[in-house]
Amino acid sequence: MRTETDLRRLMQKRVEPGERGEAAIEAVVARLREHCYLDDAAFAETYARLRQENEKLGVRRVRQDLQQKGVGSELIAKTLEARYGQTNEEALAREHLERKRLRKPENEKETARIMRRLVAAGFSTGVIYKILRTWDVPEEELAALDNLEDEPREE
């Protein structure tokens, strides 16, 4: 499955430039919509469901991925509210850790690694700190993580 934006982007490379190419793209998109093969709402729902159930990703990551795929922001908000509205983010983050076989950190380096992995998976820092505190991670290590977030990054 693809979004309409994805499909247009792929087809743009294959059609002749100009009005004729644009007309061909419009015709294909219209026909696919007519036969219900192209539906951004169904794509967004399926994508969010699979990322939540299989990969155990957080709402932020799924939102970012859908935006990159060209789904409209109103549709994203509606889909994610329906999919993640009643979800316990902490439980989902714990399932993600279990799925990735990440265990309680033994030192500051491992704590930072788990923090990065959970942020990349789309979980809020509040939930991440809550999990780290239940693992009895020393407050000094958590404070060091706060300092890492405040430092400017070189690019």
- Tell me: the pLDDT tens digits for 129-154? 899 888 887 887 777 777 655 444 44
Per residue in 78-115, pLDDT (tens digit) is: 999 999 999 999 999 999 999 999 898 888 888 889 99
pLDDT for the residue numbered 61? 95
Residue 155, pLDDT > 50, answer no
Burial of 17 (0-12, 13-18, 19+ CB in 10 A): exposed
Amino acid symbol at 91: A
pLDDT for the residue numbered 143? 78
How far apart, in whole angstroms, are the C-alpha atoms of residue 9 and residue 36? 19
How far apart, in whole angstroms, are the C-alpha atoms of residue 73 and residue 77? 6
| Average pLDDT, integer, range 12-19 | 90
